[in-house]
Structure 1
């Protein structure tokens, strides 16, 4: 038997390959996806042994259908149901919102239909520019915590700023404050001694989907890309800034890092808290007792409509992408997008092209120098189609722009963790705050215009003259879009 296998090893491997390939082909057929995609995957599977299986495994999986954890464990708790019920708007508030938002009301209804995410009114928000402002504010609030601190970060390093935060967490835990920290196991790097220090101080720390060789796994897996901080259930932070020294500029222009974060006080913090608990149940593999103590009554009287959108393989719909798509398609005046990674799906590209050709001012701001060679060239492969449709594209030159913001028509704004790319829309766990207020939009527009001053506009006439080798690199990198 062993001799037969040894003499026919390649034949056996080919047979196994085609059994797997044919099985995968049937799976694709039953999904009833786009016919062109179906044919492409089937041809690759059957024509290219081994490579076809690899391509399907990396590119063809429907990630959203693979529910990684059960959200219902948290959402079905009586306390959470009561909290969501209390956040429901009154008849008069609904009438007021209907009048103020007009067409943008579609965005609110879409997210509520997708995720039952309520629109909260009693909020105070503060836009934090760059890491210097974010850490100054966050550290101050962490020091004031009296009941609990909840952190959920993609990148948490034990460098200078990281250790400053860690020292505060340890001190607070020793003084009786509940401290829970969830970090992504690929993005974050904490030494054993630091982890032991946190544990000895009473800080609960759990990695999100731990891996054995994080240095080599890269992006080829589900990652928690969120950056959340919740203090006493009253203050929340959300945006693009992780906990690491490279997010600090210290007034130096060298390696300048442009980013945007959001501080929220008010009812919207309850939604951040709920999403934290859903993640915590998963990473800790246990269900903590959720009480009203984690959802104190807010004293905020300022009215700023905010809706929290979470998206990932655990959600039924691509919530963030669908709201962004609808916001673009319903734009009447302008759409301003800032993103460090622009590797969009066909829907977003088409939306930007259509509204631009219909007379809406569409501007896209991306980095000129990226922290990823492949992501940079993949992004560049999309620019010509946008430029030909009249979209204005700018490349940031002062340093690296990592902000993830969108402003539409002076009434809708988005600040969060989601990039405009395939991974954020389909694979990673992301969370954004959607704000429906003119003053917030005005602040973000002013920031956008300031960033443009530090950017170069891409000219279509110049862009199309790129050499063939450059275009080849772009097209090649584009093939790996789902992995970037």
Structure 2
């Protein structure tokens, strides 16, 4: 006689339960895949939607989790409402300004079309009568910004993707503190996750708490405080405005040139940047961009403070004595029109003789890649400056996957020497018009990052930018198609795999 086993379930009951669970999982997987097919294509590029669909078909549950974390660019209803409110204020302020055209320096129809495009997309006008100086030296730029803060009498607005209080930036922050002590209102914005990864971040926050500087972290991800959004959305802008009369903007973050990382310091790996110092009416446009982000993060509306001067007030302000045209173009998740991508591709197609591009992360979408290669194929001299080394593994390999297509088309690729990281972001078209700012030529900067760039006209700035490009060329090594095709197959494979990740937006 067989002894009792103590199990109450019939022998086949466990099999039935397992079959039911397996069936439920299969049904759920099918439901996830069908939902992805119906939902994902809406509002996305076909290649982006297809990349997400393939991931979800292959790995339904993991793909769904990754999509919920990284697949949506929405920044929330309150942020969208804030963006819309400021956009309306921008349009109203622009309407009160004098016409943006300059009879002394009329633009041709093509370049005038760019100004119309930008104003329709962002609401900010083309302005003339500006002065602009380019600052390619990292430490000199920090000192120049500190000197500008020392002259402040009313307010200072500071907005940087990464900010840190270290031995290089200390003079700048000390000037901010001194400004607050003499009654100047100082407002500081920095990206929450972008700055948090810096080794000295906790010390930075502690030192800020001991000052009168008013500060806020941009796009914070703090689930316990109800602040949860896609974690790789970033505010990548770099802006300094002093009293509404002078400003700085470009590619440089507010940190030591090795990013306070011992490994970089041992290698001598410093970031190479380009920043513009501006005086004139374009300063107001940069101030409006800051006010947009300040309102979003703090709820404080600075519309009255950054309002354009009335005609009477403007007549009391000495002119900038410049002849530079500048139009500020903000972009980011708050703008569904991808302002920077539309401008970049339009400008590239307008080239007749020469295009010089500098982008540390060149991971273009199809439209930008076609604009660059088509220009080369129709006889335009096209050059691209990138780093021989890179600070981000995935982006670096994704970028490298485009090199062969560029070289075959006739684009000359210049590799800035190790151990430096060429982080400047600018390009010029036919030595007649240029863009300088914070935006890379990659899909992250087009869709996921808040960016700000300046479209610039004027012989002086274009000449100065050409000198910067000449310096890059003298220091760099040209990459040839023959040399590139000799790289190991292992590198080819990694490049191709990393290219696939570029479309997962």
Judge same fold: TM > 0.5, yes or no.
yes
1:383/1:74 CA distance change after superposition, 3 Å: same
Quick one: distance in 2 between partners of 1:446 and 1:302? 20
The answer to whether the 8 A contact 2:87-2:123 is kept is no
Structure whose CA Rg is larger: 2
The answer to whether residue 363 in structure 2 is matched with residue 343 in structure 1 is: yes
Measure, in 1, the Cα distance between the counterparts of 2:441 and 2:190: 23
Secondary structure of 1:420's match?
coil
Paired position in structure 1 for 2:39: 27
Shift in alpha-carbon separation, 1:66–1:457, aligned structure 2, 3 A: farther
Seen in structure 2, the aligned counterparts of structure 1 residues 32 and 254 have a Cα distance that, compared at 3 Å, is closer
**Are 1:139 and 2:159 matched, yes or no?**
no
Provide Cα deviations, 1:89-142, integer angstroms capped at 9, x if missing partner.
26xx455554x4442222112112212220000211010012122112101011
1: CA distance, partners of 2:26 / 2:216: 42
Between the aligned partners of 1:391 and 1:229, the Cα distance in structure 2 is 35
Conserved? CA contact 1:227–1:239, under 8 Å: yes
* Secondary structure class of the residue paired with 1:282: helix
How far residue 277 of structure 1 moved from its aligned partner, in angstroms, is 0.7
Report whether the alignment pairs 1:455 with 2:481.
no
1:63–1:426 Cα contact (<8 Å) kept: no
Q: Do the aligned residues in 1 keep the contact of 2:385 with 2:416 (CA within 8 Å)? A: yes
Cross-structure match for 1:195: 205
- In the alignment, the residues of structure 1 paired with residue 252 and residue 371 of structure 2 have an alpha-carbon distance, to the nearest angstrom, of 28
Pair 1:167 & 2:174 matched: yes
CA change 1:44–1:198 in 2 (3 A) is closer
Q: Which residue of 263, 269, 274 corresponds with 2:288? A: 274
Matches within 5 A, 1:74-113: 74-77=86-89, 80=90, 83-89=93-99, 93-98=101-106, 100-113=107-120
Distance 1:288 1:270 in 2: 12
Q: Which residue of 2 aligns with 1:257?
A: 271
Tell whether the 8 Å contact from 2:139 to 2:168 is kept in structure 1 after alignment.
Answer: no
Counterpart CA distance in 2 for 1:437 and 1:228 is 22
Q: Distance in 2 between matches of 1:477 and 1:310?
A: 28
Partner of 2:331: 311
1:71 lines up with 2:83 in the alignment: yes
8 Å CA contact 1:365–1:396 kept in 2: the answer is: yes
Partner of 1:244: 255
Q: What is the distance in 1 between the residues matched to 2:503 and 2:423?
A: 19
Which of 224, 237, 243 aligns to 2:235? It is: 224
Q: How does 1:428-447 map to 2 (within 5 A)?
A: 428-447=449-468
Q: Among residues 372, 378, 381, which one is paired with 1:352 in the alignment?
A: 372
| Contact kept in structure 2, 1:336 and 1:363, CA below 8 Å | yes
1:233 to 244, 266, 284: 244
Q: Please give the alpha-carbon distance, in whole angstroms, between the structure 1 residues aligned to 2:347 and 2:481.
A: 26
> Where does residue 407 of structure 1 map in the other structure?
428
Match of 1:479 in 2: 500
Report the Cα distance in structure 1 between the residues aligned to 2:388 and 2:23, rounded to whole angstroms. Answer: 50
Residues 1:178 and 2:190 are matched in the alignment:
no
Q: Judging changes above 3 Å, is the alpha-carbon distance between structure 1 residues 342 and 27 closer, same or farther for their aligned structure 2 residues?
A: same
Work out the CA distance in 2 between the residues paired with 1:192 and 1:47. Answer: 41
- Is the 1:67–1:315 contact (alpha carbons within 8 Å) kept by the matching residues of 2? no
- Count residues with an aligned counterpart: 471
SS in 2 for 1:413: strand
Alignment of 1:385 onto 2:422: no
What does residue 485 of structure 2 align with? 464
- Of 235-244 and 187-196, more deviation after overlay is shown by 187-196
Query: Which residue is 2:4 aligned to?
Result: none
Q: Distance in 1 between matches of 2:445 and 2:76?
A: 16
Residue 294 of structure 1: how far off its partner (Å) = 7.8
How far off is 1:174 after superposition? 2.3
Q: Is the CA contact (8 Å cut-off) linking 2:235 and 2:450 kept in structure 1?
A: yes
Q: 2:220 aligns with which of 204, 210, 213?
A: 210
**Post-superposition CA distance 1:35-71 (Å, at most 9, x none):** x665565454345432443565567546599884322
CA distance in 2, matches of 1:419, 1:144: 32
Hey, what's the Cα distance between the residues in 1 that align with 2:433 and 2:248?
A: 19
Measured on the aligned residues, the alpha-carbon RMSD in Å equals 3.1
